Amino acid sequence: MRAGVAPAAAIPVFVASQAGAYAMAWSEPPDFTGPLHLTLFDAGGVQTSDGVIVDGKAVAFIATATGYALAWATAAGVSLAEVDKTGHLVAAPVHISDDVIGDLSMLWDGSGIAMAWSEIPLKLYFMRVKA
């Protein structure tokens, strides 16, 4: 299966799977700072929706027990939001950091979201967000 849905230069692009369905998070060119899209696909790879979640550059995207978690960057820092399986925000976004963030990694540990990232000047951080 193959489906072309985003502009060819859309980066970064992330994919996650949830209960046999899939979601792709991506930011629009030319500067990739937004809007940030969440495109949903069924188990057969057929696109079922495409919604704009927030303005910002996607930096991390994972599946959770009830949907997905998405982190994005803006000039104000990095925020985190959870969305349900249909792509709708389930709560207000959580502000993670004001500082410039380098690489950011997230994982679902079964009951919450663990995050690790780097900030300039060269500090590493860890945070767990209870779902």
30 vs 118, residue with greater confidence:
118
Note whether 41 and 34 are within 8 A (CB). no
- Per-residue model confidence (pLDDT) at position 106: 93
**H-helix or E-strand spanning residue 7:** none
Nearest 5°: CA angle at 113, between 68 and 131?
Answer: 75
Q: Is the bond leading into 7 cis (omega within 30 degrees of zero)? A: no
Q: Which residue has the higher pLDDT, 60 or 7?
A: 60
Model confidence at 3, pLDDT cuts 50, 70, 90, reads low
The average confidence (pLDDT) of the chain is 81
- pLDDT (tens digit per residue) in 64-109: 998 899 988 887 888 899 988 888 888 888 898 887 666 789 999 9
SS3 124: strand
CA–CA dist 99, 11 (Å, integer): 22
Q: In what order do the strands lie in the sheet with 94-97?
A: 57-63, 67-74, 77-84, 94-97
Q: How many CB atoms are located within 10 Å of the residue 24 CB? A: 21
pLDDT at position 113 is: 93
Domain residues of the chain, as ranges? 13-99
pLDDT for residue 128: 92
Tokens 């990232």, residue located: 117
Whether residue 27 is predicted with pLDDT greater than 70 in this model: the reply is yes
Q: Measured between alpha carbons, how far is residue 12 from residues 20, 61, 83, 109 in Å?
A: 23, 11, 19, 24
CB-CB contact of 68 with 38 (8 Å): yes
